[in-house]
A and B are shown apart, each in its own frame.
Chain A
Amino acid sequence: MSTMTLYVDRKSLIHDAFAPLTKLLYVMVSIAITYIYPDLLFVLSVAIFSGVVLLVGKVFRKILPILALSILLIISIIIVQGFFHPENQTELFSLGFLTFYKEGLSYAVLLTLRVMNMVMSFGILILTTKHDEFVEALIKRGLSPKIGYVLLSVLQLIPQMRATMGKITDAQKSRGMETEGSLIVRVKAFFPLIGPVVLNSLNNTRERAIALEVRGFNTRIKKTFLNVSRTYHYQGLIQFILWMALIATIVWRILS
């Protein structure tokens, strides 16, 4: 069954030597410290570090399309902050009546690096961790198994629904639904498209609920796991280092 995942199956240090929860902690710490300590060089080095981790994990190329998704936000940040940042003083260049300033640019670069670091550190988690292993690790740490079910089933459901979407679009087009033209025509087309999808999925929900119930979804008995969990070494030490990095950044920020 196809699932929606960005996981890349490779053999690498990042894939094999780091537990899912350690990677999750890295995501949180690396994002937090770039916001706690707003220094351009510091944020740049954190971002580069995330990039290097991706390189070691042999998934650096896979992050580029994900970074491209946030390119609009980044461009918008650079343009708007460069021209309109409230602390703008030093002129860099001007276009007609608009002037581009240095302060805005450096602020925009800081924000951009933070966004890129956020995407890349998430990438480490997403691209090198199997989602079922990740969810099982979370359940072992105390996440409700019901929420765990929800998380995993969404990943299977979306590709199924995407297939349904193709069918419905074709069916409605063959009945003469127009999908191009003025805004009103297109708004009108939205209902015959979304309606069957909703009905279909709610019907499936009912059936799925019965199927789950039959399999003891609501029992209070302790759940067991299908997959044997992998063992990782030195995770406690690595997580301790990450916590220390966070604390050190907070202290550094307060002192400076």
Chain B
Amino acid sequence: MTLIQAVDLTKRYTLGKDNYVDALRGASVSIDAGEMVAIMGPSGSGKSTMMHILGCLDSPDGGEVWLNGRRVDTLRGRALNALRRDEVGFIFQGFNLVPTLSALDNVALAAEYAGRSRGQAVETARQTLDLVGLADRVRHMPTELSGGQQQRVAIARALVNRPAVVYGDEPTGNLDSANSVEVITMMRRINAETGTTFVLVTHDPEVAGACGRAIRMRDGEVVGLEAEVVSGREQAA
């Protein structure tokens, strides 16, 4: 079943008079529910823009985005907040935890935004931190955690509202190889166990190798076959 469908997306960033970048030039993708997909491509190929638009953090200049059979690129205001909150999760390269909140509170925050009571939010956050193997680090502040642990907190935060899809922007970009493997393995496991769809923008062949397939982008377009299957590490490497 198709979960995410994007058709002919265009996005232009205007930098100054007569100076602009076409980040997307008619890119189309289709992703099924339960997939784990990598979006790959060189810097400036438009993969981050694609992810921001698919995740409704940004809106396209042209084209359509559908999520779960509903058109979402036209959503604004409350409906847009509700979508970001309930149906989508994000993981960033720089972890992006709120520095003044503990691991538990970072995760609970997303649950509280979704309207859960403080007690419920903390309970759900605890369970989700357990899922990412951080049950013993709930009271730690972000600065007291390693990069890999911080990214796992971020994954827990992305998962706490049980979204249909989690978008990751270079989720292993700031991690050493050991932590990278740990994080990738965890996402793979959660994808398999919970059926949560993962869409990961990455340069990292290890990440791409762990994904079912890769969408390759260049100059704002999807190149190569969308359905191209990355069969394993050897092919990605």
Partners in one complex: no
Residues of A within 8 A of B (CB): none
Residues of B within 8 A of A (CB): none
